[in-house]
Amino acid sequence: MSAPTATTTLLAVDDLRVEFATDHGWSTVVAGTSFSVGEREIVGLVGESGSGKTVTGLSVLGLLPRGVGRVASGSVTLGDRDLLGLSERELRSVRGNEVAMVFQEPMTSLNPAFRVGDQIAEAVRLHRGVSRRAARDRAVEVLDLVGIPHARRRADEYPHEFSGGMRQRAMIAMAVSCEPRLLIADEPTTALDVTIQAQVLELLAGMQQELGMSVLLVTHDLGVVAEVCERVVVMYAGQVVEQTDAVELFDHPRHPYTEGLLAAMPQLGSRGQRLSSIPGRTPEPWGMPQGCRFAPRCGYAVDACGEPPPLVTARSGHLSRCHRHDELTLRGAR
């Protein structure tokens, strides 16, 4: 497959380290993550729970819970600005304006005490400085854009009057209301039913086309990645283990963990076969293996894996953090 197309980079995350307060002191939950998102590109950030993918997404906008999580080092660049170096005030003009977010739980991500339309208009007024009335019109307009019927009437309703799928549409409407350059969507479909999930993915892809924005899609679901992503970043135990374009990843994974994930993907396969899985479990931040973090669960592990592997270019545009990336032939998706 071709290397990632040489688009201009919009977001660059470089050697990001994030620490969280745990029972065991400050533990590193994201350990030197680097990746980028190009203009008008949809990038999937994939991993299981505990991989650090959500934390990475939150770090971009400085949304780590105060006193619980902190960025220890690294840089996050949007265009030519280092977001981590911005003052709180400057960062606020980026949030919701240049970079917007959609979260996993549509049921709890909207404020139950305020009308849906007002919550959207609030962001518009803040960043566009328009009149109350114009902001409201814009709110109705984006609600309509994301496919909420009777948008003008529904704008006056409270979140509890919306179904889960509608709330996620409203969240997307809020996110796109100021036409951001980058949308970070954190597991936007995980809490939704499969038919609603299909609607929301279709909507996200449509919005990306229409507004020409970039999307960083944080998910644990390779099916979601297969549906909409052009490029994929795979995280395991706080590190990027593989990064390449989507088709290449599914065809020729270069990291045993990715192979395991692909093999474990739910298939509409036949009954009676054993389902494959990755043995063991993700290590805790305070108990990381010394060498390769995946080695204890890896069937290909050799002595060399006692040393931490670097993230290297396995092929043009294909990065892998595996000592044996060039000698193994790993199975892709069926």
Partner 1 sequence: MNTAGTTPGTGPLLEIEDLRVTFGSPGPRGRGRVVRAVDGVSLQVGRGRTVGLVGESGSGKSTLGRAALRLVPVRSGRVSLDGRDLTALRGRALRQARRDMQMVFQDPYSSLDPSAVIGDSIAEPLREHEGLSRRDAERRVKELLDVVGLPAGHAGRYPSEFSGGQRQRVAIARAVALNPSLVVCDEAVSALDVSTQNQVINLLEDLRARFELSYLFIAHDLAVVRHIAHEVAVMYLGHVVETGPTDRVYDSPAHPYTQALLSAIPASHPRRAGTGTRMLLSGDLPDPADPPPGCAFATRCPYAMDVCREAPPATTPVDGGGEVACHLQTSGPTLAGRTLDAAGVRAERDGSPDVVPAAVRDAP
Partner 2 sequence: MLGLLVRRLAFTIPMLVVVSFCVFSLIVLVPGDPAVSLAGENPDPEQIAAVRERLGLNDPFLLQFWHWFTGVLRGDLGQSLFSSQSVAGAVFARLPATLSLALLSLTVALVLGVAVGVLAAMRPGTWVDRVATFAASLGVAVPYFWVGMILVLLFAINLTIFPAVGYTPLHENPLQWFLHLFLPATALGLAPAAVIARQTRAGMTGVLREDYVRTATAKGLPPARVVGKHALKNAAIPVVTAFGLEASRLIGGTVVIEQLFALPGLGSLAYTSVFARDFPMVQGVLLVVAALVLLINLLVDLSYGYFNPRIRQS
Partner 3 sequence: MTTTADTTAALARTAPVAPTRPGFWRRFRDNRPAFVALVVLALLVAASLAAPLIAPYSPEAIDVPRRLSLSTPDHWLGTDSLGRDTLSRLLYAGRVSLLAAATAVAIATVIGVPLGLLAGYVGGKPDWVLGRIGDVLMTFPAIILAIAIIAAMGPGLQTAMIALGIVYAPRLFRVARAATLQVRAETYVEASISIGTPAWKIIPRRVLPNVASPVLVQVSVMLAAALLAEAALSLLGLGVIPPTASWGVMLGSGFKEIRSTPLLVFWPGVAIALATLAFNLIGDGLRDALGRRTRKADS
What is the contact surface with partner 2 in residues (CB under 8 A)? Answer: 61, 63, 65-67, 88, 92-97, 100-101, 103, 105, 108-114, 122-123, 126-127, 158, 160, 171, 174
Which residue, 161 or 284, has its beta carbon nearer to partner 2? 161
Sign for the pseudo-dihedral over CA of 188, 191, 195, 196: negative
**H/E stretch holding 311:** none
**220, 291, 313, 328: residue in contact with partner 1 (rule CB under 8 A):** 220
Closest C-alpha among 162, 6, 138, 18 to residue 84: 18
Please select the residue that binds partner 1; options are 126, 247, 288, 328, rule is CB under 8 A: 247
User: Does residue 216 touch partner 3 according to CB under 8 A?
Assistant: no
| Residue 26 interacting with partner 3 (CB under 8 A) | no
The answer to whether 6 contacts partner 1 (rule: CB under 8 A) is no
Residue 188 touching partner 3 (CB under 8 A)? no
72 binds partner 3 (CB under 8 A): no
Quick check: 214 binds partner 3 (CB under 8 A)? no
Query: What secondary structure letter does DSSP report for 194?
Result: H
Residue 107 as a binder of partner 1 (CB under 8 A): the answer is: no
CB atoms closer than 10 angstroms to residue 295: 21
Q: How far is the CB of 8 from partner 2 (least distance, A)?
A: 24
Closer CB to partner 1, 156 or 193, in the complex: 193
From partner 2, partner 1, partner 3, none, interface partner of 111 (C-beta below 5 to 8 A by class): partner 2
Name the DSSP class of 131. Answer: -
Q: Which two tokens stand for residue 51?
A: 């991989």
Q: Sheet with 312-315: list strands edge to edge.
A: 99-102, 182-186, 214-219, 42-46, 231-236, 239-245, 318-320, 312-315
Q: Any idea what DSSP says for residue 161?
A: G
212, exposed or middle or buried, with CB in 10 Å at 0-12, 13-18, 19+? Answer: exposed
Q: Does 267 bind partner 1 (CB under 8 A)?
A: yes
CA 13, CA 172: separation in Å to the nearest integer? 24
- C-alpha span between 230 and 122 (Å, rounded): 33
From the list partner 2, partner 1, partner 3, none, partner contacted by residue 33 (C-beta under 5 to 8 A by kind): none
Q: For residues 111 and 162, what is the distance between their CA atoms, to the nearest angstrom? A: 12
Residue of 44, 47, 96, 117 that binds partner 3 (CB under 8 A): 47
108 is a site residue for partner 1 (CB under 8 A): no
Selection from partner 1, partner 3, partner 2, none that 310 binds (CB < 5 to 8 A by kind) is none
Residue closer to partner 3 by CB (options 158, 300) is: 300
Alpha-carbon torsion 110, 41, 207, 51, what sign?
Answer: negative
Our finding on whether 2 is near partner 1 (CB under 8 A) is no
Q: Binding segment for partner 3 among 50-58, 77-85, 91-99, 161-169 (CB under 8 A)? A: 50-58
The two three-digit tokens of residue 20, written as one number: 């969280």
Which of 9-17, 134-142, 243-251, 260-268 is the region at the interface with partner 3 (rule: CB under 8 A)? Answer: 260-268
If DSSP codes are grouped into helix, strand and coil, which group holds residue 236?
strand
Phi-psi region of 97 (alpha: psi -120 to 50; beta: other; left: phi over 0): alpha
Binding positions for partner 3, rule: CB under 8 A: 23-24, 29, 47, 49-55, 104, 187, 256, 259-260, 263-264, 274-281, 284, 287, 297-300
Binding positions for partner 1, rule: CB under 8 A: 48-49, 149, 163-166, 193-199, 201-202, 220-229, 246-247, 250, 260-261, 264-271, 273-278, 281, 333-334
